[in-house]
Amino acid sequence: MANWHALPPEDALKLLDSGPDGLSDDEAASRLERFGPNDLARISGPGPARILLRQFENYMVLVLLAAAVISWLSGERSNSIVVLGILFFIALLGFVQEYRAERAMEALRKMVAPEARVFRSGRMIKLPARNLVPGDVIYVEAGDIVPADARILDSSALETVESSLTGESNPVRKSPDPVKENAPLADRSSMLFMGTMVTYGNGKAVVTSTGSDTELGRISGMIQETPAEPPLKIRLQQLSKSLAVMVFIAALVVFSIQVYRGYPVLDTLLIAAALAVAGIPEALPFVVTLALAYGTQSMARRNAIVRRLPAVETLGSTTVICTDKTGTLTRGEMTVREIWCGRRVDVTGSGYVPEGVFRVDGSEIDPVSLDALKETIITGALCNNSELLQEDGWKIAGDPTEGALIVLARKAGLDLRERCREVTEYPFASDTRRMTTVHECDNLLRVSMKGAVEVVVERCSYIMDSSGLRPMTEGERERILEVADEMAGRALRVLATAFKRTESGELSREILEQDMIFTGLIGMMDPPREEVYGAIDVCKRAGIRPVMITGDHKRTAEAIARELRMLNGEVLDGSELDSMSDEELSDRIERISVFSRATAEHKMRIIKALKEHGHVVAMTGDGVNDAPALRSADIGIAMGRAGTDVSKEASDMVLADDNFATIVAAVEEGRRIYENIRKASSYMLAVTFAEVAVILVAVLVGLPAPLLALQILWINVVAEDFPAIGLAVEPARAGLMNERPRNPKEPILSRYVLRYTLGTSAAILIGTLGLFLLNLEDNLSYARTVAFASLGICAIYSAYSSRSFHSSVLEMNPLGNRKLLAGIVASLASVVMVIYIPVFQRTFETLPLTPDSWLQVWVVSTIVIVIAEVLKRSMMVGETNSLGSSSHSSPAKSR
């Protein structure tokens, strides 16, 4: 293999049979065939076989297998076959649901697959990184994760962090200059390596190797991804485990007592085994997986792409959403409205259409007639990395702020980029808040700078306006800041521009940026997104506090926050935050609704302070520096469009549309999913408890077992699971976002839910045992059939009642959840089938029921549902009271 790092860039290109314009599409396609996709061998999700096998890996299956074997050996072959059938059913149901969940997650993973910017036949396009081939010319900039190993062709202030490869966490400078052949990996400054982060600058490079041929591919071989398990699932698994122990003891008690009383050992053993199986809500973990997987799919349809499943659960309890302003609360489409260069110049036009005129005091002027205006516009265009494109309408490729400046220059006919050659560039970064370039224009070197007003003015010693060029006085400096303040107060995003001539572009940045000439202020409009107004209102009703954290000017931030009706507290500027201790911040944090001129470090302090108050914090971020904040927030949210790879990698969720309203929609989904899991768990536990108790109580009071082993299994596995799946996908109820956030520490079965569950369970128990006793005198098998029907129908009724903890069965839309309806019908059919179809009658030892008995079953199940409804009402009152006791504005304080 060639020593790419030691070759001059031209030689590397030649050797790879490529050129500065990259490959053609055809050539790239044929190389893709030859080299394969640019993927590392990843073990992502488990395959279907693995999922199927996993279904047999639990204790319950072992018990059932043992039961089948014992039945077979003792001649009860039909019993054994049914048990095996049930076993197969459990495995199939588990497999289908888990496989579908896995596929849903895989689809989500694909949605956040990394992309690369590639030159194909001279045009820059975005491609999935896996389609890169050796010879492709790529463009990278700060925030990107390098998509393949590549030889640098051209760079400006390019820096990368290669800790994933070399362990070194300091940024390394990169440039096209060849290095020594024997240079170690860490010193190969002319190369970019797959998986490393670009932290500053930008550059072009030619791909030298892809996929497992890269340095990363070589060291990692296989990257194993162990997806994080949702805490909820873990908690429910633990619950299932403790239940298993209790149920095992109950089964042992039942077995010992019945054998002691002289019942046949085999029948008793089977009942005990069935009890042991029935007592474990085996479908609980997969109902959770299902609710989460379907939930994340519907979140994706609403543009919120979940990267880590546990986030879904946390989302539902979010109390504060810290959000960026530009592009998230606002549209991120900038239009320059006004320029100040000693006098106010208005600019007309809309969006990115490069047509408009310049007006002073209402009269149109030629922008070239005012020197300061002309230089301001030229600076904006030169100090720029964006492109204006015309493809079904005018669009911007790159930063919208810079795009607006190109549109401005086109309106004035002053887009000089064709005539000038860039010599040096210090790109915009949110911590330096400025950008500086050196261009050679008509044999003269011009330094251009644009950025936040105070940052630019600080570097200016001269001012240019209608009365010419002169040294800047302190008074003028203050005046500029005042004008900028006034413009920002009108919700304009304000940038200052400055320029100067220089002898050399090779000087240090500090010297280059000294003694600049201030030329003007540019005010651009970035209107709020329409849907954010509604989303902010929803937040207020839902007890969630939106907090704006922006890099923009205090007055601009304040004006936008006021416009969006989210200014219900103080505005704190980054400089004020710097002078505050953590304690002071913590004291004031509950009153602050806007942080201006904030940096990524500020975000970390804000998260810490909010967490100290018990808040569950969702935080947005898009830049390289935002990664730590995204990680330390409870929910890190990255921007799908404007966000960097690095921020996406660090996030829990990605917004496909960068929209604040999407975060609120995701919170609603989070709440719905959590509630559904809660409902399904409560329902399954109620039925499970009732089944175990019916057998246990009957045996303890000296009665025969009211259900046979197969009957227990049938209700537990077949009749109970269908409705549970339906409950897991119940649509959001009205009013879900009119309640305060859930306390994340509250157990899934809160006091009230547990009372409802146990109460319903007790009602089913008493009703079923009562009916069993009532019919026992006639015939044991008949009494068992009645008990079977009663348990089955009560379970179905209670599934319907569990659809909502917040409204009665009469208030619910009966067709609101078709999956549940289908589940209920399937469940009902499975009960009736066992009672009426002859082969089932023989195996399950059932008898057809008389209309009288059905009436009894109906009366009992109706009583059960009335009791469940009464419990539900007391839960509603209880939960409202317990929530109402804490103040609305500081949701977490009551914890």
Residues identified as active-site: 324
CA 223 to chain centre: 22
DSSP letter assigned to residue 523: E
| Nearest Cα to Cα of residue 270 among 543, 86, 393 | 86
Q: How open is the CA angle 216-217-221, to the nearest 5 degrees?
A: 120
The least CB distance from residue 593 to ligand ATP, in Å, is 14
| Nearest Cα to Cα of residue 425 among 439, 442, 437 | 437
Q: Which is nearer to ligand ATP, 337 or 493 (CB)?
A: 493
Contacting positions for ligand ATP (CB under 6 A): 324-326, 399, 401-402, 428, 430, 433-435, 450-452, 493, 495, 550-553
Contact 485, 573 (CB under 8 A): no
The least CB distance from residue 405 to ligand ATP, in Å, is 8
Q: Which is nearer to ligand ATP, 38 or 550 (CB)?
A: 550
Q: Which is nearer to ligand ATP, 454 or 845 (CB)?
A: 454
Classify the phi-psi angles of 464: left when phi > 0, otherwise alpha if psi is within -120 to 50, otherwise beta: beta
Q: Which is nearer to ligand ATP, 401 or 853 (CB)?
A: 401
Q: Which is nearer to ligand ATP, 382 or 729 (CB)?
A: 382
How is residue 267 written in tokens? 């029948």
Residues 172, 178, 183, 185: is their CA dihedral positive or negative?
Answer: positive
Q: Which is nearer to ligand ATP, 267 or 576 (CB)?
A: 576
| Nearest Cα to Cα of residue 404 among 425, 387, 420, 390 | 387
Q: Which is nearer to ligand ATP, 548 or 831 (CB)?
A: 548
The least CB distance from residue 472 to ligand ATP, in Å, is 19
CA 712 to chain centre: 41
The least CB distance from residue 311 to ligand ATP, in Å, is 22
The least CB distance from residue 749 to ligand ATP, in Å, is 41
The least CB distance from residue 38 to ligand ATP, in Å, is 31
Q: How far apart are CA 348 and CA 336, in angstroms?
A: 8
Question: Half-sphere exposure of 886 toward its Cβ, with a 13 Å CA cutoff?
Answer: 16
| Nearest Cα to Cα of residue 625 among 195, 159, 314, 223 | 159
The least CB distance from residue 427 to ligand ATP, in Å, is 8
SS3 label, residue 348? coil
Q: How far apart are CA 781 and CA 710, in angstroms?
A: 13
CA dist 225 → 38, 41, 43, 103, 162 (Å): 18, 11, 6, 16, 20
DSSP-assigned states of every residue in 495-510: EEEEEEEES-TTS-HH
3-state helix, strand, coil in the chain (%, to 5): 50, 20, 30
How is residue 876 written in tokens? 């509603």
Q: Which is nearer to ligand ATP, 68 or 378 (CB)?
A: 378
Q: How far apart are CA 452 and CA 557, in angstroms?
A: 13
The least CB distance from residue 488 to ligand ATP, in Å, is 9
Residues 6+ apart with CB under 8 A from 668: 538, 542, 732, 736, 737
CA dist 655 → 579, 621, 622 (Å): 33, 11, 11
Q: Which is nearer to ligand ATP, 431 or 506 (CB)?
A: 431
The least CB distance from residue 400 to ligand ATP, in Å, is 9
Residues 6+ apart with CB under 8 A from 198: 140, 141, 142, 143, 144, 145, 146, 158, 159, 160, 192, 624
Residue whose Cβ sits closest to ligand ATP: 551
Q: Which is nearer to ligand ATP, 243 or 405 (CB)?
A: 405
Give the start-end residues of each E strand in 570-719.
570-573, 592-596, 617-621, 635-639, 653-655
The least CB distance from residue 691 to ligand ATP, in Å, is 56
